[in-house]
Homo-oligomer: A and B are copies of this chain.
């Protein structure tokens, strides 16, 4: 089904990290460079569009995405764990979003150290619009994949994530 290690699709002659020809005995390395190149291409495209079309950044987008899925709000420390960045960074992003009226902090009575962050009505409205555009960007990229490839990627990445996940602990 998969032709093992062959290049199934002819690559145009465009240089990238993987291009420094590696012999076949470095397959894992080639795999990693290919994945890294893909990710970087897509990620920088998304950052660029978020900036030019919605005047926002990827971490801000990600934080709002978390909140949309948590209507009751999330504690800052939960956001920190989920986004895998330190507490101080969450404070900074939340400050910006709050200043623009997109999220709000609420003090929680049960633990007076904690704050809960929620999307405001405006925040929900604005984010839904961005999220829709974002999903279309993604679909226009991944939509070019065959169903087989899409499913194979999905499952293989689950395996990889299980291996890589402990790194963050």
Among candidates B1, B4, B36, residue contacting A1 with C-beta atoms closer than 8 Å: B1
Among candidates B17, B27, B44, B157, residue contacting A62 with C-beta atoms closer than 8 Å: B17
Cβ of A53 under 8 Å from chain B: no
CA distance A6 to B45 in the complex (A): 28
Determine if A20 and B142 form an interchain contact, defined as CB atoms under 8 angstroms apart. Answer: no
Q: Could you say how many copies of this chain the assembly holds?
A: 2
Known: A66-B20, A151-B5. A157 touches B15 (CB 8 A): no
In the assembled complex, which residues on chain B have CB atoms less than 8 Å from the CB atom of A156?
A: 145, 149-150, 152-153, 156
CB within 8 Å of B: which A24-49 residues: 26-32, 34-45
Nearest B residue to A134 by beta-carbon distance? Answer: B29
Stretch from A76-84, A92-100, A108-116 forming part of the interface with B: A76-84
Q: How many residues of A contact B (CB 8 A)?
A: 78
Nearest B residue to A12 by beta-carbon distance? Answer: B165
User: How far is the CB of A117 from the nearest CB of chain B, in Å?
Assistant: 14
CA distance A145 to B159 in the complex (A): 7
